Structure 1
Amino acid sequence: MKVLITGAAGFIGNDLAIRLLERGDEVIGIDNLNDYYDPSLKEARLARVTGNPGFTDVRLDIADRDGVAEVFKKYKPDRVVNLAAQAGVRYSLENPNSYIDTNVVGFMNILEGCRYNDVEHLVYASSSSVYGSNTKMPFSVHDNVDHPVSIYAATKKANELMAHTYSHLYRLPTTGLRFFTVYGPWGRPDMALFLFTRKILAGEPIDVFNYGKHRRDFTYIDDIVEGVVRTLDRVAQPNPEWSGEHPDAASSTGPYALYNIGNNEPVELMHYIEVLEDCLGIKAEKNMLPLQAGDVPDTYADVQDLVRDVGYKPDMSVEQGVANFVDWYREYYRVKGAAGGK
């Protein structure tokens, strides 16, 4: 297939591009390499794929309507995976406009590109943050998610609604994937594992929100990518049993689907930190802080639909996943520390 990936220099997009290229797909990768975090890390990720003859590197902001239209017209992708986004709950408190520009305007441009170029299937990143104020665990794609607690979450909910409209009106098959706290090698520097590792190795205290009582369904990058590939290969279909009297949030009369991709095993933040301390061989100095605005205390993914439809369930243990990240971090940044005499 010819697959267009937006956010191809990003954490998930880059690993997905590698996986698709390895199986023989052609990949058109869009990214604007913005400076939300260190662009040199994004450049290093891209260097892993730019030598592959099946990869086309396109530097573009998806908020550029004419630019996106031209890419679709020129390359005519069979399928599209939209992973480009302004990410981060906390940053959305400081700069909400950037979330509208990329996550709403940009996504609209992708939908239009798919609509006018006969794309077979659009898969796009949603987020566990859409569950917002929900407290019924585990979070199910069949539950109502109308109470987001950050503008980031609101934009991801908007993506699901926009995709549904295009599935309904234009019969464009769309699949939304609610990712749960993705971590692993080549990860994002603004996320907890990266921040904690850098500060612990530098001898600096780490900020531990909600006094460490958060529970997160930490999901390893390889598990996320496997879920993306399997859902990309399974084109969304209409649900013939869908009823407006008892509407199912995860399906439609149009070719529309939603899935959680999470480890299905929430871990308390303090245990996550303890695993990291063991891997580094260093105890962290901790600033214990209250729950930050926009955050939710717990996430826990119900993945029954994913297992039923694509036969896959994420299963990487936090202990192994964190160890893999630490090994990558030491090598990439050439950092020595306490563990194992490194």
Structure 2
Amino acid sequence: MSFIRKKPEVKHTWGDYKFVRALSSGAFGRVLNMTQIENNKQVVIKRVQYVNDEEKKIADDEVKMLKLAQSKHIVKYLESFTYDLDLCILIEFCSGGNLRVLIEAMKKMSIKDRKMKSYMPFYQMLSSLAHIHSLGIVHKDLKPENVILDKNGNSKTADFGLQKKMVSKSYLRSAGTAVYSPSEAHMQNKMTFAKMLTGIHPCAGKTQLDTIENIKKGKMVVPIPDYNQGELKDILMRMLKMDVYKRPTAKQLLDSELMQFQAQIDNANEKKDNKGENEESNKRLMNLNQKFDNQKLRKKKKEEEQIKPSKGQKYLKKKNIKYMKDYLIWKKYQRQLNNLILKKIKKLHYLTGKK
């Protein structure tokens, strides 16, 4: 069956941009930081091979899905054009680096600050995943390097090169980076979030092969720290389930009280544009997160107190235990006394019968 390939809409050419630096490269192609000459605006250009039909289909599909998936937590698609033997895909440049950089910085933070700093990127990743899942798309290489940060620290999911259109709801194949590719593709978000909280890959082994084996077996080497309690721990434990049918979807996790709270903060921060306002928002975010955690702790303490026995109940319990011990001792002596009496009676009967 023949078909006419739709040419990408052209607004600019390679000559309109000036090279700044290379960001990454691999079998997929090259990712470059470029500057648009006419306005000095920085962009990212991903150059992928565009020669044979298979390469063209892969590249065109990436552009198609990137256009389809546009949202505030997905990297912004700008345009695409051909140059030499490559298709150049232009996306927005985010100056905050990627999530890997943030995770490394968080290792030096206090437990409290690390925990607070993890909530928003996790919410924004969940939001992007829920959005693309609703479109029938699954991200096949979700890892810290593929989550980029803008100048205000907002997370945006990128690299659609390994995204696939889901053929059915039971789509469970896995591809992409080995140590962030668990048994099913949706668990990758859990791996990233757990590493943000602990600073260590949850299935880390002595070697990469050990790590991959741990992932396959669902063996979590690094336990969830004790400072992760309440709904946060519940979310992590639910995401860790190996059975895909028992594991929550991104949408279900977004419905949790903790993530609903982050959604309110995210929506409020969206209205802030300048740096000063965003710094103030971040301070309020920290305070609100602390308040939320305190509310959770108070609620948990109250629940424990309801279950916990009162002093009077404890005293009665101790008293009952003492009475029980005394009773058992008395029963023991009673048996011994009965045995002694029986022996005496038998002896007396024996002597009487002999006479």
Q: Same fold (TM over 0.5)?
A: no
Which TM bucket (shorter chain)?
under 0.3
Structure 2 length-normalised TM: 0.21
Higher relative contact order (CA 8 A, sep 6+): 1
Q: Which has the larger radius of gyration?
A: 2
Task: Decide which structure has greater helix share.
Answer: 2
